[in-house]
Chains A and B, each alone.
Chain A
Amino acid sequence: MLLAPAFEGAEVTFACTDGGQAERYGLVRFETLDDCNQNEPVKLLRTLWQARRLVRKIAPDVVVSTGAAPGILCLVWARLAGAKTIWIDSIANSEKLSLSGRLAIKFCDSVYTQWEHLACGNRPAYRGSVL
């Protein structure tokens, strides 16, 4: 949400695993999907399916995600649908890029780290941070 000013003037849909965020931030266009992680394959598949439905429904021009697993799954479908894909690795990852971030490097248009020392040219790129 700290980066939301970047999308001023665009039609934005927010998607989150926590439905409460819509009310908290007064978000009009909002979708939920179930949380998942690499250790739970059944949930991973379920969210993969939800992500596909979501990307088809919204038909976005650009998909931006700050993680984690549900976000990277949305980016996979977005990429296949021809949308622009941007991954922002969480500020919490100051030691190394997250697993999702390392996957994002393989297929996303832009990948950001928020730590200067983790930048590796443009993949990932350091372009600033929420701090």
Chain B
Amino acid sequence: MIFLTLGTQLPFDRLVRTLDDVAGDLAEDVFGQIGRTDLRPANFPVTQFLTPTEFAARMEQARVIVGHAGIGTILTGMRMHKPLVLMARRASLGEHRNDHQSATVAQVRKIAGITIVEDAAQMKAALSRSDIPAMSDHGSTARAAMIDALRSDAGLDWG
């Protein structure tokens, strides 16, 4: 199953439509939690909100998580070891207060398990991959760098 989750704050209709454009071509069920919006995609069932228990069950079942480039989504993907397909919200389209998600994307696109998409073609390519990599919480180059910095600033580098 592919699980689209958009959190509880702002709707993100452009992402819902992008997924709707390709959902019919996928040999896989899609389910969406899309927040407060009147949009009803033609090719997959949605709900506005989920309880924490329902959310956890959908996450567990999902092969791939589709979402916005929010830190909550990224941390959940890491904890659940799921592949993430993310789209950044754009302030110019009224999707967020500012463009911080573009800055977030510039940094997180290097992380294994995160695929950034901007349109339906990229979405379809990502979701068609049976070998799409999952996120892991077993450390990363960025985390190792931070641990080194911390060790050095804390005076724990004895050589």
Contact = CB atoms under 8 A, between A and B. Distances in A.
Contacts, number: 91
A72 to B, nearest CB: 17
A125 B145 CA distance: 12
A10 B142 contact: no
Instruction: State the main secondary structure of chain A at its contact with B.
Output: loop
Interface residues of B, number: 33
Task: Give the contact-size bracket for chain A.
Answer: 20 to 34
Interface of A: 2-3, 5-10, 61-62, 64, 84, 86, 88, 91-92, 94-95, 109-110, 112, 114-117, 125, 127-131
Interface of B: 71-72, 74-75, 78, 98, 100-101, 103-104, 106-108, 111, 137, 139-151, 153-156, 158
B15 to A, nearest CB: 18
A94 B100 contact: yes
A10 B156 contact: yes
Given A109-B153, A131-B74, A6 B111 contact: no
Contacts of A61: 155
